Chain A
Amino acid sequence: MKRATSKKVKQLPATSEWTFEAIDAYHTEIARVAANFDLDTYPAQIELITSEQMMDAYASVGMPVNYHHWSFGKHFLSTEKSYRRGQMGLAYEIVINSNPCIAYLMEENTLTMQALVIAHAAYGHNSFFKGNYLFRTWTNADAIIDYLVFARNYIAQCEERYGEEEVELLLDSCHALMNLGVDRYKRPPKLSLAKEKLRQAERTEYLQSQVNELWRTLPAHDAKPGKIAAPRFPPEPEENLLYFVEKHAPLLEPWQREVVRIVRKIAQYFFPQRQTQVMNEGWACFWHYTLINKLYDEGLLADSFMLEFLQSHTNVVYQPSYNDRWYSGINPYALGFAMWQDIKRICDDPTEEDRAWFPDIAGSDWRETFDFAMKNFKDESFVAQYLSPKIMRDFRMFAILDDEHEAKLKVSAIHDETGYRRVREILSDQYNLGSREPNIQVWNVDLRGDRSLTLRHQQYRKRPLGGNIDEVMKHMARLWGFTVRLESQHEDGTVELVQETRLEKRRGQAEN
């Protein structure tokens, strides 16, 4: 191994101002240590940007290129405001799941913060992106930047051709349904720019012809009336609303279908991030902590560096209590970091309790266990699998049951022998996107009649729909082009009509 024992160890620079040389020196050392830990990463590309550029990237969902839309302008303004007020105290870091993995460093940061961000983003997140199964199946790191460039150019072209207003309205509608525009269970095909471009023209034409077929008004052969019940369409309920719109909305132009597709693809790209926040952030925190400490042990880092580092680190992984002013739920950084540290402890130094709870991993090789856990889980299953009684005690977790039909809240479980499993189950469910967001699917289309579309909401634990249903339904109706209905199915099986949004005029007439 290339241990630096023979040579005299030279400390890395400890100034607070950064220079390119210093960043390079830190990066080299961090990369070396990461390699010693066998972290498998994409090559790292480190980019220095200004705070304005950072806010810009924050605003356009963290991507370096994106299409234009007013909502990004709005996010930029609010980010800018909280930045000016100094409310965003965290180390600014954005890392892009691409190959090479791009990590942004902000020029205002101190050298210590830059080193921390390099370890956190360019090695922590990077290896997670490369290893985790969700990212491997859902996202294609080689193609995403190309795809975004394609998307931006395509949407810009549409704006030129059909007018900014028109495109904006369409994007508004798509954004409203973005969270329901993902495949939760199906495996996706890979995307690539070359294929995408090649197939796009072909696809639009084909799609249009399919839709035309579906909505043909002249009967192909005279069906005997009333003989058979109308076939259900779609045959199975469809969970991906945007996909359904793209493929089957009767009145959309080909370019509109393509725009719907773009929004859907981008939503899909971010889907894994929403499902792995605790794991991913915890993993990155674990690695910046481990890598920097390793460097310190080797004598490469000054004490002043370590103090600043530890100060930011503890800020990031701080968990306020429920009655604290700053409490806003379980801090994913804190929980993730604690869990990974705890898994390492269980591997290295298990107690009796750990052996009983985790017979598989107690005493195993921690790097192998880590890789297995990182690669094969998402937040929901990660918590269900690895949350140990020790963590529950450390966090002093307790679960509250809030049933609107009961006068009082009930403490349903706490961090004790009888409550561990229940707390773990509830926390795991909290990270389940399926229960966090309402479950709404395309239920039926009245093919033979007024072409109306019915969405069905399956209630989960009697929670009604909230948010601005009326507005969202208008967006859905705009995309579909005909009346849209929303039904809610209660847990006892009864179905209730929540909302009906009529849109009887055809698009063209409606707007003139």
Chain B
Amino acid sequence: MTRIIDRRFDSKKKSAVNRQRFMRRFKQQIRRAVNDAIQDRSIRDLDNGEQITIPSKDLSEPQFQHGRGGIWEQVFSGNDQFASGDLINRPPSGGGGGRGQGKASNEGEGEDDFVFHLSREEFLDIFFDDLALPNLVRTQLARISDYKTQRAGFTSDGSPMNINIVRSMRGALGRRLALGSPFSARLRELQKELDRVIEESGEDCEEALNLKDEIGRLRAKIEAIPFIDSFDLRYNNRIRVPKPTTQAVMFCVMDVSGSMDEEKKATAKRFFMLLYLFLTRTYEQIEVVFIRHHTVAKEVDEDEFFHSRESGGTVVSSALKLMHEVIAERYAHGTWNIYGAQASDGDNWDNDSPICRELLGSQILPWCQYFAYIEITPGEPQNLWREYEKLSGEHKNFALQRIEEPADIYPVFRELFKKNFV
């Protein structure tokens, strides 16, 4: 009657549905956690999952319970000092050693946060949700990369059109030799024996006839070894390898003057992240150059770019000049695809804006694949915007957008995605 059943290969991921439901249910909390995570991440780091922490009181399942208070009488183990009638001071609240299980667990649970790991896909999904990306773009961005097939040796199974004849025949030959070798050895011996017998006693003696018989049987056996067997077949193997194209450089230009607060910077960061993500899907190697500016521009590393603050006025052209210098110096030799992304709150020194337009239109845009500008401001468009607006008609590779929240970012890239994907 006993049965042992191997179920290890049944229904994997059975709880996937429950996991999805859990995620949907706590979307708000998870989204908040993802937003926090984005603040701490490098913009290059989008291919990892994320550890998500949710306060466990948010996801408790309520039930009626006994509360604290009233009379409790409980049995404990390991008495080492007490006698009946002893009075003991109450342990300090918050669970001193050895409160009974009922109470300790009631208060203990509330304090731990619920931590779990979000996969890369789930993380990106929430990130994209935030940016309100259309579905088509989502799938294309989330895909690891394009593939091409290339040869990779031989395999023992495949479709008939991929049979490699030379390899298969070589294998068959080897197999025939190997399987036939005991017979061949015996055959050579018999042949020698036969020669000797014929020499000694002539062609027709009984021994010679027997030997000939046996030789005949051996030959038949050798011939019976199949000429080619399914076992011999070899197929050309082709594997899919990721196919990145070439290299690109991405310029992140951001205004860090006093008026850019943390919130605006966070929005700008998403804008840079999205562009970076897009570029990783198209280019093998991407360099990122961070340029920050107030009245003077400076090339910095990512950490400084997002996290240090300065105050003072704003001269945007300084950054564009620096960008132009960097391009001329390092990326001018034609093998680089150049992308620019500029984020600002639109404040600029009045006389500077026409200079910016001039600089961008004549010196930078001709080099660039694409240049996107976002103005993060809830108010009226500023002078820089008005100047830039004039450019957008003339240049196809220039996009600009006024942004109040992350969901407005995507339209900046719409042209970019259209050009490359559709």
B60 in contact (CB, < 8 A): yes
B64 near A467: Cβ-Cβ < 8 Å: yes
B6 near A48: Cβ-Cβ < 8 Å: yes
A93 → chain B closest CB, angstroms: 15
B79 → chain A closest CB, angstroms: 4
Q: Nearest chain-A residue to B60 (Cβ)? A: A468
A452 → chain B closest CB, angstroms: 19
A24 in contact (CB, < 8 A): yes
**The residue from A80, A172, A409, A415 contacting B87, defined by CB atoms under 8 A apart:** A409
In the complex, chain B residues whose CB is within 8 Å of the CB of A438: 64-66
B308 in contact (CB, < 8 A): no
In the complex, chain A residues whose CB is within 8 Å of the CB of B3: 43-46, 100
Shortest 4 CB-CB distances between A and B: which pairs?
Answer: A466-B67, A321-B78, A329-B101, A73-B22
B67 near A467: Cβ-Cβ < 8 Å: yes
In the complex, chain A residues whose CB is within 8 Å of the CB of B63: 176, 178-179, 467-468, 472
| CB under 8 Å from chain B, chain A span 30-65 | 31, 43-50, 52-53, 55-56, 59-60
Q: Nearest chain-B residue to A21 (Cβ)? A: B4
Using CB atoms and an 8 Å cutoff, list the residues of chain B in contact with chain A. 1-8, 10-15, 17-26, 59-80, 82-90, 97-98, 100-102, 104-106, 114-116
B18 near A73: Cβ-Cβ < 8 Å: yes
CA of A80 to CA of B101, assembled, Å = 24
In the complex, chain A residues whose CB is within 8 Å of the CB of B83: 411, 414
A76 near B66: Cβ-Cβ < 8 Å: no
CA of A107 to CA of B74, assembled, Å = 40
Known: A396-B80, A459-B70. A74 touches B65 (CB 8 A): no
B290 → chain A closest CB, angstroms: 37
A76 near B19: Cβ-Cβ < 8 Å: yes
A414 near B97: Cβ-Cβ < 8 Å: no
Using CB atoms and an 8 Å cutoff, list the residues of chain A in contact with chain B. 20, 23-24, 27-28, 31, 43-50, 52-53, 55-56, 59-60, 68-74, 76-78, 80-81, 100, 107, 164, 168, 172, 175-176, 178-180, 319-325, 327-330, 395-404, 407-416, 418-419, 423, 426-427, 429-430, 436-438, 440, 457, 459-469, 471-472, 475
A323 near B15: Cβ-Cβ < 8 Å: no
Known: A328-B101, A411-B85. A430 touches B75 (CB 8 A): yes
B72 near A323: Cβ-Cβ < 8 Å: no
A411 → chain B closest CB, angstroms: 4
B79 near A414: Cβ-Cβ < 8 Å: yes
In the complex, chain A residues whose CB is within 8 Å of the CB of B12: 50, 52-53
A81 near B116: Cβ-Cβ < 8 Å: yes
CA of A402 to CA of B100, assembled, Å = 10
B154 → chain A closest CB, angstroms: 33
A396 near B78: Cβ-Cβ < 8 Å: yes
A417 → chain B closest CB, angstroms: 10
B67 near A395: Cβ-Cβ < 8 Å: no
A74 near B76: Cβ-Cβ < 8 Å: no
A410 near B69: Cβ-Cβ < 8 Å: no
CA of A408 to CA of B14, assembled, Å = 52
CA of A231 to CA of B77, assembled, Å = 52
26 A-B residue pairings within 8 Å (CB atoms): A44-B2, A45-B5, A48-B4, A48-B5, A52-B12, A56-B14, A76-B18, A76-B19, A77-B22, A319-B77, A327-B76, A327-B97, A327-B98, A404-B69, A408-B87, A409-B87, A418-B84, A430-B75, A436-B102, A438-B66, A440-B64, A460-B66, A461-B71, A462-B71, A464-B66, A468-B60
